[in-house]
């Protein structure tokens, strides 16, 4: 009986080990590393999704300052445009979820971001929602935080005392014709149109093509979700990413080792979004991810064995948050 149990156990272990080995081969992780080295992109990459957005209200000054001073490799942001033509870092289609737009502009609360002037946007409170929703992480200083312009995020990044990149998404680019050129112009004016410091990202092929035409040397990541994977198939998405960019950014649910391996073998870098739990880092890292978009850049750094440059609370206090 004991011999039979140990035989079965041995077979199970061998099968698991073989499956694990096959998955690593399928994921071709060394090709991802080689692509990152060729492009001069941090490997593995810690991409602070809307800043350190677990610890502070997303895409606000403390979120980006925290990510910068904790030691993330990239500050991630979604760029849209106000009605008077200013580029801002904001994710949602409307201001409802993360601001007091419903109180300040009740009749326009459901209007798109592009319907507001910069002065109107700057009058919104983009921090109090966080305190109400996450009381355990709330801080009085978060009340009244402002939506940031692209320039303001660049200024925060420019104050880094180390190599720090910007991972810039053109959000809803169909609603903002020409936004790619405007982003490029804004970066160039501040000395940030640097392929070693910037990666463009988009769910839109057209938008990535516009970035490619105007700034071919800057890396570009094609973002893909489950719907796109169902409609086009992974093979088609990888082919498109290879045609228009240097990387692919899949949602975690489609980041299987054989998918990542196909992308790696096409010479693409794979940055997976949006991954926040250590067990997910482990699984997807094993599956070959070259880095993650994460709200928890603090935990991701820890996972990769990188010591944060300072404690989050000390950074917040240093900057009077």
Taking CB under 6 A as the rule, does residue 207 contact ligand G3P?
no
Beta carbon of residue 169, minimum distance to ligand G3P (angstroms, whole number): 5
Among 80, 170, 201, 285, binds ligand G3P (CB under 6 A): 201
Minimum CB separation from ligand G3P for residue 266, in Å?
Answer: 20
Please state, in angstroms and rounded to a whole number, the distance separating the CA atoms of residues 211 and 186.
13
Count H helices and E strands in the chain, helices first: 15, 10
Which residue in 100, 125, 169, 180 binds Ca ion (CB under 5 A)?
Answer: 169
DSSP class of residue 246 equals: S
Q: Is 298 in the site for Ca ion (CB under 5 A)?
A: no
Nearer to Ca ion, 172 or 285 (CB): 172
Among 28, 29, 49, 95, binds ligand G3P (CB under 6 A): 49
Look at residue 223 and give the partner it binds from ligand G3P, Ca ion, none, a contact being a CB closer than 5 to 8 Å depending on partner kind.
ligand G3P
Return the exposure string of 186-209: e unless at least 16 CB atoms fall within 10 Å of the residue's CB, then b. Answer: bbeeeebbeeebbbbbbbbeebbb
Phi, psi of 31 (to 5 degrees): -70, -35
Site track for ligand G3P across 225-264, x = CB under 6 A: ------------------------x---------------
Query: Rounded to a whole number, what is the distance in angstroms from the first to the last CA of the chain?
Result: 65
Please state whether 90 falls in left (phi above 0), alpha (psi between -120 and 50) or beta: beta
Residue appearing with tokens 């990510």: 67
List of residues contacting Ca ion (CB under 5 A): 78, 169
Tell me which residues are annotated as active site: 49, 91
List of residues contacting ligand G3P (CB under 6 A): 49, 76, 78, 91, 169, 201, 223, 249, 273-274, 293
């Amino acid at each position: 009986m004991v011999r039979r149990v140990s035989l079965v156990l041995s077979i199970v272990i061998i099968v698991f080990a073989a499956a694990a080995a096959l998955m690593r081969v399928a994921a071709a992780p060394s090709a991802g590393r080689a692509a990152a080295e060729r492009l001069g992109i941090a490997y593995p990459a810690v991409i602070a999704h809307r800043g350190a957005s677990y610890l502070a209200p997303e895409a606000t000054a403390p979120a980006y300052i925290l990510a910068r001073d904790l030691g993330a490799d990239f500050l991630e942001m979604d760029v849209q445009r106000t009605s008077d033509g200013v580029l801002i870092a904001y994710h949602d289609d409307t201001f409802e979820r993360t601001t007091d737009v419903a109180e300040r502009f009740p009749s326009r609360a459901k209007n798109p971001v592009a319907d507001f002037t910069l002065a109107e946007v700057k009058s919104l409170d983009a921090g109090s929602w966080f305190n109400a929703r996450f009381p355990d992480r709330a801080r009085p200083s978060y009340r009244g935080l402002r939506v940031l312009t692209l320039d303001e995020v660049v200024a925060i990044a420019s104050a880094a005392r180390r190599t720090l990149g910007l991972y810039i998404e053109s959000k809803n680019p169909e609603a903002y014709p020409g936004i790619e050129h405007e982003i490029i112009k804004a970066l160039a004016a501040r000395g940030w149109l640097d392929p070693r410091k910037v990666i463009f990202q988009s769910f839109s092929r057209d938008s990535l093509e516009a970035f490619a035409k105007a700034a071919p040397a800057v890396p570009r990541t094609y973002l893909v979700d489950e719907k796109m994977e169902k409609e086009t198939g992974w093979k088609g998405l990888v082919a498109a990413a290879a045609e228009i960019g240097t990387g692919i950014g899949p949602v975690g649910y489609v980041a299987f080792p054989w998918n990542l391996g196909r992308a790696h073998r096409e010479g693409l870098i794979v940055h997976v979004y949006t991954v926040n739990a250590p067990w997910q880092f482990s699984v997807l890292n094993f599956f070959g991810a070259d880095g993650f978009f994460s709200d928890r850049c603090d935990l991701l750094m820890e996972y990769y064995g990188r010591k944060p440059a300072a404690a989050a609370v000390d950074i917040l206090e240093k900057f009077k948050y």
